[in-house]
Structure 1
Amino acid sequence: MKLYSRNPLPFKYALLATVILKSMALYAQDTGAYQLPVITVQAVRTENELLQTPASIQKVEVAQSQSNTHVNVSEVLQGVAGLQMNNRENYAQDLQISMRGFGARSTFGVRGIRLYVDGIPATMPDGQGQSSNIDLDSLDNIEVLTGPFSAIYGNSSGGTILTETKEGQGKDSIQVGLNAGSHHKQQANIQLQGGSEQANQPAYVISSSYFDTDGFRDHSAARKVLNNAKLTWNLEDGSKINWLINRTKIEADDPAGLTRKDWQSNPKQQASFLRQFNIRKEIEQTQTGLTWSKPLNDQNELYGMVYLGNRQVVQYQSISKNTQEANDRHAGGVIDFDRDYYGADFRWMGKELLPNTTFIAGLAFDQMREDRQGYENFDATGRYGVKGNLRRDEINTLWNLDPYIQASWQFLPQWHLDAGLRYSNVNYESEDHYITTVNGDDSGSTDYQKLLPTVALGWEILPELYAYTSYGKGFETPTFTEMAYPTVGTSGINFNLKPATSDTAELGLKSQNSLGLFTFAVFHTETKNDIVPDDANGGRSTFRNADKTLREGLELSWQKQLWQALNVRTSYSYLDATFDADIPATSTKPLIRKGTYIPGIAKNQAFVGLAWQPEQGFQAGLDARYMDKIYVDDINSDTAPSYTVVAANFGYLWVNKDWKINTYARVDNLFDRNYVGSVIVNDSNSRFFEPADGRNFSVGVSVNKTF
């Protein structure tokens, strides 16, 4: 790894930030005594204070008063430094989430970032994740881990998002809510919860919601049912058990992208050519998991996690009859797969085996079996949007077995060293069962291994000021979806797609004092064989490797309770993401020059939000978000323009003994800005642009009764 930066400017900010934050900490000491909340985090597996953790972590506490519809996780995570969340206004494809550029290539779902709910993976073993099964109605907090230490989670962990749902507490209660908004959006939800005073009886949270909308754009209607339950046992021997069950069902039309001309003329439309195909997706996912922790004594603790799930998807694409009939090896215009997946993670944590030292040793196992078929998307009469003849039939399997160790050593009163090592071992296999005279056997297998070290040095400069430097090696294998179609040909698994490896160095500063909580980080990431989009056509995407890419940037955040219940939260992110080597031209692709910007990534982002949130009474909030322009393809031929959008909300929280009533009203895109919410990278028909909603409204009420 090179220890210098081609553009050293972001690292020069570190010295300036050190001087500023130290001055602020010293000033805060002089202002007199003050009491600050202690923020604990668990993202690096050892529960610790945020201000003493040598990693870039941001924790978002979910407010007790509702001010949005609780449908998309972007409603909670907007404004987190380093996190780019693009809302496609397309429930068939989920949010586009990227972290320091990792995951920006995704045409649907979440890739390159690992998601967890109460310690249970929401990312499948191949690295494909979904945010749609996160129940926002029962959410307690979210931790966002960026930078080198994400590597402790193994494959496809360019960043990690860990969500924690509430645990049942106190008396039994029931909450019923109803939200409504523009485009006939409506959501109904119900939640039951209660604590437990006996070890053999669980505390519980059971939540269910139904959402539907006609959609902002033509052919973008969606329906979603989400059920979630969490049972918690705190046993007499000190052990704790959490049992989680989640089921999600989504039916959504897909409006697809627009050309620049079509977007500017009418952002609500669907391209006229696509109307005949009835593009849509149906998703059903059921998952359950169990976590267990037990302290053996003051120095030793055991932890275990097991999970299993099933995901079924049927997707109808916009591929013409002529295209499929012209090639006997074409896999068809309907994707139909059924995935079973399961896994486990067991670890031991020991403290003071050596003075001032904590050790962790564990073993993680995951496996997935995918039964994938492809069908023609037309019948004998040529009518589109139906399941026709079989064109693909295969069984794909993946498994990994990852041992890992971590250690944290406080070798001086103000200094400590943290390190981790994980061996990631991923094995793929595909069995082709669709073999004809013109469609040969495409079976095959491959495996990837990588040793992933991480190390960080932390220094408590002052009680209110903490600095750290860290390094880590990342590893990202292609998902089943990315391997599903070769860049040349239309059948079989793309075993030529290589895993990406990255080296990241980071320098960070944190300060918590009477002036607020500040975080600052600069980073430098070099990636080899980066997985990037090759082509997108008819809803089908192919991928290839870029020899080298470079990401450099900085992240800054500040939050503070200004006065009584008035809070402010701000963030700024800078990310310079480029191809760091030429990508040779092919018969279908032009030469990509070194220094060209990686598409799908905004160079600058900024957020500021003000919120008045007392424990009861009038509530209000105002926030503004800026997103820089985003290039749409590898040759940077066009951009989705930069934009700034503003949102406002107000409501009233009424509390009286056993009753709590919350009402709110919200307007997003207050000034009705016409902007692009997301781009489809390298779309072969130049339908790059997925427009965002204009000015839109939502209102809601929830009633909570304690018994």
Structure 2
Amino acid sequence: MKSLSVGIVSLVLTLSLGFAQSSLTFIDKNTGMPIAGVVVKIPSQQNQVSDEEGQVNIQVSKSIFISYSHVAYESGGVQIEENENRTIFLVPITRPLGEVLVTGFESERPLVHQAGAISKVLEYELYRFNENSILSAFNTKPGVRIEQRAPASYRISIRGSSLRSPFGVRNVKVYWNDIPFTSPDGTTAINILDLSNVQNSEIIKGPGGSIYGAGNGGVISFESRRQVTENYFSIDYGLGDFGLNRYRIGIDQQIGNGGVSASYVHQQSDGYREHSAMDRKVFQLALHSNPNENQSLSTQILYSDLDYQIPGALNAAQVEDNRRQARPGSVGQNSSIKQKTLYGTLSHELKFHQKWNNKTALYLNTTEFENPFILDYKRETAFSYGGRTKFTYDAIWGKFPVKIIAGGEYQYGKTLAQNFGNRQGKADTIRFSDDLITTQAFLFQQFEIEWTSKLLMTLGFSENFSRYDIDRQIDAGPGNPTFNSRTFDPIIIPRVAMVYKLNDISGIHGSISSGFSPPTIAEVRTNEGSINLDLQAERGTNYEIGYRGSYGIFNLDLTAFYFQLKETITSFTNDQGVVLFRNAGATDQKGIEAQIDYAIYRNQLSQVQEIKLSHGYTGHFFQFSEYSSGGADFSGNQLTGVAPNTLVNLLDVRTKPGFYLNLTHQYVDEIPLNDANTVFQEAYNLIGSKLGWRTVLGGRWDFEVYGGVDNLLDETYSLGNDLNAFAVRFYQPAPGRNWYGGAKLGFRY
């Protein structure tokens, strides 16, 4: 018996001597405070939790990979050696507004120090919904609405800016990784992007022309993953109602101080309505390097092959009879869009002095576009290039910290655009053919000064130049081929803004900004062949005041604005059903936008770790102030296509075993569908839910499975109506109650 006891003690000592102790300390990256309750998962050992000092001691006999997670911080993993003492800095997920950094107006500051209505859409918010598009996440932000007339047919409205967009994205400037993604002609094909091509987004609501050029609606800045932090392979698969299938394969590989990442995504669906199928393939390759501590270099290639059908709008009787039917003629004429796009970028950032740095980005883009429609058949081959450069100077003038930002942007686009007749979905006799050239450029300057530790002032302006040439090579109509050119006078766009920091957690901001938006070539050169050179650029002035604050678990963001727009561009249809455009006097746009979010419960050590609520309200009280057309006076009418009131409520629950639940409610007020305000879409409520489970297996494998339901109430509504529609075909019915699900698997190697 004595020899047995000695043997057991000897064995325990032998095993213990075979292990070395390593120490981990978890620190909040923003505050520098230790983090208690971090769950550390160690291969073949019991999970451990960091103490009040943020520390965990683990026994290791060799180099191992451990993963860590916390309900309030971004998860991750790290390789640990024997006898290593490692400090790990964690980035909060839900942070006070004073800790949320945004780069709006080219000035990286905490959100409470930004003078402007800026919303941030984080990666976890994008994946909170069905992962087939960015639509649902963006529609939770006050003042923002993405509409979908058919799968992959999007329209973006920021503060009612889609009035002139019967289809496509106009009047909103879009960037991808700080590079112009909006074409030189003012349109943006966001439908070529998959959700996986976006990690985080920022939205500037209202004119951003002082530093971003044309566009009264605002600015959207998409950002894909910039840095490769680990070697990682992942595969995702999703499916759902109406034949939805989506799979993604991705790989990240560290190389020296940088890395390479690649992904391929294929998404297809049959669509809710007849003739609404979609097929999209997207490949992205990114290379990142840091030659030294003062430089970074990135290059990306994006290829998108998109093919989707257009079911067309219905009138009220057709919706009542069968909301899933296509517009008569859409199937026979194969109304659809095929678009192949190759987009290449190069970005370089250099800090060449303690006070100076420069960031320059260039891009090339080619697109093949084919669009059979009920009335015609359109083909386009486009090529464009451009870039943006920015210099930043930080210094102290006297006792005042200042920042000077100066730079420029240039874009050139050339398109061969041909319109044919459509004979049962095939291109028939050519009607007209144009060579289109668009050039736009602007210079921007911005001066920031901190008058006191609490008061920050910003002065900025841009000088804008734009021109387009329409060289008609073929005209099968009664006219002769002609050359048409339009050069817009140089436009100065100013902005003045101030922020007063009440304390470390709250502030008041106000601004006055100007904006302009010239007509796009698609609005000047219409599908029936006419060229409207009389269409004027929109001009507007925006007055804005807001308050932001964080109070423990509460974040509050409140903005009130008044936007006056002149030479408003609106759409209408002629007797043949062709969409045309005109300047419609002036509009008055008064609004309130508010968002509050708070964690009503948070405890990393309990079974239910977090319960979080968020509420967003949009009050857009817009009207035509001066608008007469065809003998009718629409002055005083509500602005077409804008819901006066929108409310969003979110509930998120996360648990210790890894289960999570997301609930979403959205109320949309009735929407006027024509300028006369005689037709409205009825108000509706949408409720959706998503339930999932995520875990880390063996320290290296990430696994997640999820499922959800959209439109639980089976509401009848349109997510993208046709405004001022021909033959009263206003409605593009959205799906009724539908389900989706999927699984994800990732491996660190």
- 1:527/1:41 Cα in 2 relative to 1: closer, same or farther (>3 Å)? same
Q: CA-to-partner distance for each residue in 1:540-567, whole Å, 9 max, x for gaps? A: 4211111111111010001223322322
1:115 pairs, out of 174, 184, 199, with: 174
Letter in 2 for 1:125: P
User: What are the equivalent positions in structure 2 for 1:366-405 lying under 5 Å apart?
Assistant: 366-378=411-423, 384-405=424-445
Q: CA-to-partner distance for each residue in 1:255-305, whole Å, 9 max, x for gaps? A: 000001111222111133444322111111111111211112221111111
Partner of 1:5: none
Letter in 1 for 2:241: S
Q: Which runs of 5+ in 2 are unaligned?
A: 1-93, 603-609
Q: Is the aligned partner of 1:673 residue 2:718?
A: no
Q: CA-to-partner distance for each residue in 1:438-478, whole Å, 9 max, x for gaps? A: 22123211111311001101101222220011011101011
User: What are the equivalent positions in structure 2 for 1:61-76 lying under 5 Å apart?
Assistant: 61-63=122-124, 66-76=127-137
Partner of 1:233: 289
Partner of 1:18: none
- 1:625/1:151 Cα in 2 relative to 1: closer, same or farther (>3 Å)? farther
2:186 pairs, out of 127, 131, 145, with: 127
Q: Is the aligned partner of 1:408 residue 2:435?
A: no
2:733 pairs, out of 687, 691, 699, with: 691
2:696 pairs, out of 647, 655, 672, with: 655
**TM-score between the two structures when normalised by the length of structure 1:** 0.88
CA RMSD, 1 decimal: 2.0
Q: Which runs of 5+ in 1 are unaligned?
A: 1-33, 320-332, 379-383
Contact 1:133 1:246 in 2 (8 A): no
Q: Is the aligned partner of 1:702 residue 2:744?
A: yes
Q: CA-to-partner distance for each residue in 1:155-207, whole Å, 9 max, x for gaps? A: 125211111112343331111111010011110111111334x24xx322212
Point out which structure has higher relative CO (alpha carbons under 8 A, 6+ apart).
Answer: 1
Partner of 1:522: 560
Give, in whole Å, the separation in 2 of the partners of 1:435 and 1:647.
Answer: 51
Partner of 1:635: 676
SS at match of 2:319: helix
User: What are the equivalent positions in structure 2 for 1:436-475 lying under 5 Å apart?
Assistant: 438-448=478-488, 449-475=490-516
1:159 pairs, out of 193, 198, 218, with: 218
Give, in whole Å, the separation in 2 of the partners of 1:436 and 1:536.
Answer: 20
Give, in whole Å, the separation in 1 of the partners of 2:105 and 2:313.
Answer: 39
- 1:356/1:66 Cα in 2 relative to 1: closer, same or farther (>3 Å)? closer
Higher Cα Rg, which structure? 2
- 1:68/1:615 Cα in 2 relative to 1: closer, same or farther (>3 Å)? farther
Partner of 1:203: 259
2:302 pairs, out of 246, 249, 266, with: 246
Partner of 1:21: none
Give, in whole Å, the separation in 2 of the partners of 1:647 and 1:654.
Answer: 24
Q: CA deviation at 1:148?
A: 4.2
- 1:275/1:536 Cα in 2 relative to 1: closer, same or farther (>3 Å)? farther
1:99 pairs, out of 131, 135, 158, with: 158
1:214 pairs, out of 262, 267, 270, with: 270
1:596 pairs, out of 630, 637, 656, with: 637
SS at match of 2:149: coil
Contact 2:330 2:373 in 1 (8 A): no
Partner of 2:201: 142
- 1:493/1:225 Cα in 2 relative to 1: closer, same or farther (>3 Å)? same
Partner of 1:4: none
Q: CA deviation at 1:653?
A: 0.2
Q: CA deviation at 1:98?
A: 0.3
Give, in whole Å, the separation in 2 of the partners of 1:426 and 1:470.
Answer: 26
Q: Is the aligned partner of 1:612 residue 2:657?
A: no
Contact 2:245 2:267 in 1 (8 A): yes
Q: CA deviation at 1:86?
A: 1.9
Percent identity between matched residues is 20
Give, in whole Å, the separation in 1 of the partners of 2:128 and 2:443.
Answer: 43
Q: CA deviation at 1:140?
A: 2.1
Moved segments of 4+, more than 6 Å: 536-539
Give, in whole Å, the separation in 1 of the partners of 2:214 and 2:135.
Answer: 24
2:551 pairs, out of 503, 508, 513, with: 513
Give, in whole Å, the separation in 2 of the partners of 1:107 and 1:616.
Answer: 47
- 1:552/1:276 Cα in 2 relative to 1: closer, same or farther (>3 Å)? same
Letter in 1 for 2:448: S
Q: CA deviation at 1:124?
A: 0.8
- 1:246/1:602 Cα in 2 relative to 1: closer, same or farther (>3 Å)? same
Give, in whole Å, the separation in 2 of the partners of 1:438 and 1:625.
Answer: 52
Q: CA deviation at 1:492?
A: 4.0
- 1:447/1:203 Cα in 2 relative to 1: closer, same or farther (>3 Å)? same
Partner of 2:34: none
Partner of 1:44: 105
Give, in whole Å, the separation in 1 of the partners of 2:368 and 2:647.
Answer: 37
Contact 2:208 2:215 in 1 (8 A): no
2:384 pairs, out of 336, 341, 346, with: 341
Partner of 1:327: none
Partner of 1:365: 410
Partner of 1:304: 360
Q: CA deviation at 1:234?
A: 1.7
Contact 1:78 1:85 in 2 (8 A): yes
Q: CA-to-partner distance for each residue in 1:364-392, whole Å, 9 max, x for gaps? A: 111111110011102xxxxx211111111
Give, in whole Å, the separation in 2 of the partners of 1:205 and 1:540.
Answer: 45
Q: Is the aligned partner of 1:552 residue 2:590?
A: yes
- 1:297/1:615 Cα in 2 relative to 1: closer, same or farther (>3 Å)? farther
SS at match of 1:215: coil
Contact 1:613 1:619 in 2 (8 A): yes
- 1:437/1:539 Cα in 2 relative to 1: closer, same or farther (>3 Å)? closer
- 1:668/1:217 Cα in 2 relative to 1: closer, same or farther (>3 Å)? same
Q: Is the aligned partner of 1:421 residue 2:470?
A: no
Q: How many residues align?
A: 644
- 1:152/1:592 Cα in 2 relative to 1: closer, same or farther (>3 Å)? farther
Letter in 1 for 2:107: T
Partner of 1:575: 620
Give, in whole Å, the separation in 1 of the partners of 2:521 and 2:594.
Answer: 35
